[in-house]
Structures are given as C-alpha cells and as structure tokens.
Chains A and B, each alone.
Chain A
Amino acid sequence: RKEVEQDPGPFNVPEGATVAFNCTYSNSASQSFFWYRQDCRKEPKLLMSVYSSGNEDGRFTAQLNRASQYISLLIRDSKLSDSATYLCVVGRGWSNAGNMLTFGGGTRLMVKP
C-alpha cells in the first residue's frame, strides 16, 4: 500500500461546480499535511497547509480526518484557472522539511467552460 494515495482522476467539471478530492495516508504518526498545486509541465507550488480544525482560503477548504486517516480539498465555484494537478503531501513530523514529506501521485482536475 502506498503511504499517500490519491485518485489520479481526471475530474472533469464545469465552471462554477464544486469539486472535492480525498487523499488517504497510511502512517498514523503523521503530523503535518499540505496540498500543493502543479500546473501542466510546471513545478509544484504550495496551495495550503491543512490544520486539524480544518481551514479555508477563499474558495478552497481543507479538512483533516485523523481517525480515518484522510485529508480532503474542496474547491467551490471552480474556475478554468483551477485546472491543474493537486498533490497531497504528508509530513512524518511537525516539519515541512523536504526529507520528511511524502507526496501523493496527484489528482488531475480539468475545469471546462
């Protein structure tokens, strides 16, 4: 079983739709969680950290469920510019150091006009 698993998609949604991705992780000792965004043939960029109580940044909401060991990303009112691959990233400690992170394979989102 992979340490961090994501549905690769693609998720094809119309503009304005709400879409949600889940990501499961296997290490129950994981302490830090992130979503990165990667545009086609570009580098990953941090989208948002995921906090225990859940957090929101504009149209994006991230949730953590420790009991079931998954995190989720909800995107409301999808824009064409949201089309990208979303990487779930889990840290083995309270650190964002690259050597402590495990990246999921990514979920591809395509927003259509």
Chain B
Amino acid sequence: SQTIHQWPATLVQPVGSPLSLECTVEGTSNPNLYWYRQAAGRGLQLLFYSVGIGQISSEVPQNLSASRPQDRQFILSSKKLLLSDSGFYLCAWSVSWAGGEKLFFGSGTQLSVL
C-alpha cells in the first residue's frame, strides 16, 4: 500500500533563517506531488505541484521554492523565512482514477516563524 511521510511535524524558526521540509512517498511510482499551505487553521492553498522529477509548477508568487530531486521525494525550501510563512504545510500525492484525481495528504508540518 502507498504511504506518505512528511517531516518534521513541528518547526519553530526565526525570521530570516532557511527552511527545508521533506516529503517522501512509498508504494507508488511517478506520483503527482503537491505542497499545500493552511494559514490560521482555515482553507488550504496550493503552493506547488510536480508531475515528474525536476518538474515544478508554482501556483502563487512567494518566498518559497520546491524541488523534486527523486521520483518520490518533494522538498519545500526557503532561503530566508518571513513571518507570513507561518502555517500548516501539507504534502500530498495523487492517483488518477475513474476520470479524477484523488489526493492523499501527509501528516503536515506546523511551521512557526518568530
């Protein structure tokens, strides 16, 4: 069966420090991968998605970047964090089925920038 791992679960970082969040998927190959952010416990916003190694699409301009160095690895990074980068970050992968895409989310990383 497929599983998605995301770490760390909680992170407190000072403003201006770098960021690296990692996500890996097991049990599937060539998945579509996503980074979503949830601010203030409300709705989710799609930040990045990737359909293959080295292929990254950004949905919103921001202080963050994403990379996919391996088929089942997705990394979210920042060179210098801002206060507004605080939030709950969720990695997800999707599988196509019956004409749609079903999304499976990781456990999330709660990032607090102070």
> A and B: partners?
no
Give me the interface of A with B, judged by CB distance under 8 Å.
none
